[in-house]
Chain A
């Protein structure tokens, strides 16, 4: 089982990248599980035709300890197992604790032993702002972290902070940094800026994903771009990224 956590600045395209990666891994014949770690609960949206699925926390709130594993997951496009941690209304409660509670709920129900996914992708909200948001990279969860960034300065700063957090936690047996995914916004010197970032955080660019309008067109039809436009340049590069992640991955 390969387990990847995908981090990056808010709005940088993590969910789009994760969804495309899930599709690419599924195309390769792997059994894939994608877990959205965001109170908005929209990571897997286009894997089930744009329909919202009940988040793990919503289900736990209703059913408490009687909630079964099947209540917490939905199977979507190409058999991809989708789960959304969910979380409180913005400004209330504790989103980090929510992610931790969702993870504990999956663990208590032995989700990975029962579902036996080959690939698990954690799509994590924004920055590693508290303990809850570090859950996906703790021992027993993801083995490798990929950071999505563009060449925009704020995205690069966020990526650098995430890399520092990953490095700081290394001694605890946490995940290691797998690489940086350049998701282009077509800013000047974009690749060069991200290469400098990679030198600073001692990693490499794992993929160079083009800005591609096919993504928005597919989303307007509530479908993943990999399904609607499987031959577009973005899809081609995502498949290469999926292969890269397997070749450089940790299979446990």
Chain B
């Protein structure tokens, strides 16, 4: 699945890696009607898509791998890529093209911006350069792609509308199928907000061009943070980081959004805990939001327990030594089932929370609707008894 690297002084003996940045780009761009080109030698784009982008498995999409070979790389002969993309674009007439790549273009300092400009000139189709390197996790790829899309297509003349929010960093890699996205949108609407744009699931190209109507951006995963920071710098739209995991977190989110709208300052909707008896492993925002929700349950409060989060580093993955140490110090661990085989012992209670960015489609049927005010954190944590 992922081709993400590990620290050179560590070896991953037990655990898998998280989905890579190039897959993140494919996932972020999937529903927006564009053609995504991965500049890479691989002739098998299922490496990046079938396993990591769940919708690709059984539906049509415009994703291509350039088939970069040694001499083309050595000579930096970009005309091969440019001509291939031009031919494909003439046949398929995509609305836009996203150009990303893996480690070899990165190593030869392939010029994404300049090449995108040349393809755009030849085809007349907007080309988004997204300089991924195949060495980071999907979080980086999703974020770079969304930021570039907004930079290019969002209408900056729009003015913010009160109680209007964007959800940033939404892909099936973190949210699986549409059930979580629908529930998350409904939660925010029930709280009195209008969901202006959902980047980028269950929404449309046209609607998302109005991104700057939002008065507050909500980074519901860490894959939305760069985009949130960009929009803050560009049009001073504040952002809130968090996910409405259950009733308590939904309330925290609503308060944080209203405060951010009022004073223009960015906020997080969870407490930062570095240690806890309960450990949640997963993407950072989702794991921290879940940890906050779990810490506020009667189960945790009654036992004097608190939950903390552990998440994969965007650059270097999840350090197995840290992982092993943290799991062994925890009474309860909430994580993807792939971790069970490695660390399950009788002392530690493991509660499964599958994550497509880690285990792909394997446990998809067992992924709960967690991004909702109706998620029952109490019942969830009780399972670990």
Contacts from A to B (Cβ < 8 Å) = 64-65, 94, 96-97, 99-100, 130-132, 134-135, 138-140, 169, 171-174
Contacts and interface: CB of A to CB of B under 8 A. Distances in A.
A97 to B, nearest CB: 5
A100 B114 contact: no
Contacts of B76: 130-131
B110 A172 contact: no
Interface stretch (B115-123, B211-219, B336-344): B115-123
Given A65-B315, A130-B76, A131-B76, A172 B111 contact: yes
Q: Which of B76, B110, B113 has the most CB of A within 10 A?
A: B113
* Tier of interface size on chain B: 10 to 19
A79 B115 CA distance: 37
B109 A172 contact: no
A173 B110 CA distance: 15
Interface in B100-115: 106-111, 113-115
Across the A-B interface, the 3 shortest Cβ-Cβ residue pairs:
A172-B114, A131-B109, A100-B109
A100 B118 CA distance: 21
Given A65-B315, A131-B76, A171 B121 contact: yes
Contacts of A132: 108-109
Nearest to B7: A64
Contacts of A169: 114
A53 B34 CA distance: 46
24 contacts: A64-B316, A96-B108, A97-B106, A97-B107, A97-B108, A97-B109, A99-B109, A130-B76, A131-B76, A131-B109, A131-B110, A138-B111, A138-B113, A138-B114, A139-B113, A139-B117, A171-B121, A172-B113, A172-B115, A172-B118, A173-B113, A173-B114, A173-B117, A174-B114
A172 B121 CA distance: 10
Contacts of A173: 113-114, 117
B301 to A, nearest CB: 36
Interface of B: 76, 106-111, 113-115, 117-118, 121, 315-316
A139 B109 contact: no
B107 A172 contact: no
Contact of A131 (B108, B117, B315, B316): B108
Given A171-B118, A173-B114, A135 B315 contact: no
B113 A140 contact: yes
Nearest to A97: B107
A138 B108 CA distance: 14
Q: Which of B107, B111, B117 has the most CB of A within 10 A?
A: B111
Contacts of B106: 97
B114 to A, nearest CB: 3
A42 B217 CA distance: 45
A171 B118 CA distance: 7
Contacts of B108: 96-97, 130-132
B130 to A, nearest CB: 14
Nearest to A173: B117
A134 B109 CA distance: 9
A172 to B, nearest CB: 3
Contacts of A97: 106-109
A135 B114 contact: no
Given A100-B109, A130-B108, A172 B117 contact: yes
Nearest to A139: B113
Given A130-B108, A131-B108, A171 B113 contact: no
